Structure 1
Amino acid sequence: MFDFSASQVLTIALTFFLAGIVKGVTGMGLPTVAMGVLATVMPPVGAASLLIVPSFVTNVWQLLAGPSFAALSSRLWLMMAGITAGTIAGSWLLTNDSGGWTTPALGAALMIYAGMSLMAWQLTVPARLEPRLSPFIGLATGVVTGGTGVFVIPAVPYLQALGLGKEDLIQALGLSFTVSTIALAIGLAGGGAFRFDSIGASVLAVAPALAGMGLGQWVRRRVSPATFRRWFLICLLLLGLQLLLRPLI
Structure 2
Amino acid sequence: MTDPIIVLATTLVFFLAGAVKGVIGLGLPTVSLGLMTVIMDLPTAMTLMLAPTFITNVLQATTGGYTMVLLRRIWPFLFFATVLVWPGGLVLKEADLSLMAAFLGVVLVAYALTGFFGLRMTTRPERERGIGVVTGAVNGVLSGMVGSYAVPGVMYLQSLELPRDQFVQAMGMLFLCTTIALGVTLSGTNLMTLDMGLASVLAVVPAILGFFAGQHIRKKLSEGLFRTLFYVALLVLGAFIAAKALLF
If the TM-score is normalised by the length of the shorter chain, which range does it land in? over 0.9
Structure 1: any 5+ residue segments left out of the alignment? none
Quote the Cα distance in structure 1 between the aligned partners of 2:119 and 2:35. 26
2:60 match: secondary structure: helix
Residue 248 in structure 1 maps to residue 247 in structure 2 = yes
**Contact preservation (8 Å) 1:44, 1:94:** no
1:136 aligned partner:
134
RMSD: 1.0
Structure 1 residue 71 corresponds to structure 2 residue 79:
no
Which residue of the partner structure matches residue 101 of structure 1? Answer: 99
Relative to structure 2, which stretch is displaced further, 76-85 or 33-42?
A: 76-85
Pairwise CA distance, 1:173: 0.2
SS in 2 for 1:77: helix
Residues 193-236 of structure 1: CA distance to partner in whole angstroms, max 9, x if unpaired?
Answer: 12322220000000100100111111000010110111011011
Q: Please say if residues 21 and 211 of structure 2, whose CA atoms lie closer than 8 Å, have aligned partners that are also in contact.
A: yes
Matched residues in 2 for 1:7 and 1:97: separation? Answer: 29
Deviation, structure 1 residue 99: 5.5
Identity of aligned residues (%): 35
Q: Is 1:238 equivalent to 2:244 in the alignment?
A: no
Contact 2:48–2:196 (CA under 8 A) maintained in structure 1: yes
8 Å contact from structure 1 (residues 22, 213) kept in 2: yes
Residue 23 of structure 1, CA deviation? 0.5
Q: Which segments of structure 1 move beyond 4 Å, counting only runs of 4 or more?
A: none
TM-score (norm 2): 0.97
- The answer on whether the counterparts of 1:67 and 1:167 sit within 8 Å (CA) in structure 2 is no
**SS state at 1:152 partner:** coil
Partners of 1:173 and 1:191 lie apart in 2 by 27
The two structures have a TM-score, normalised by structure 1, of: 0.97
Distance 1:33 1:99, change over 3 A: closer
Q: Secondary structure at the match of 2:98?
A: coil
The answer as to whether partners of 2:114 and 2:120 remain within 8 angstroms in 1 is no
Q: 1:28 aligns with which of 26, 41, 49?
A: 26
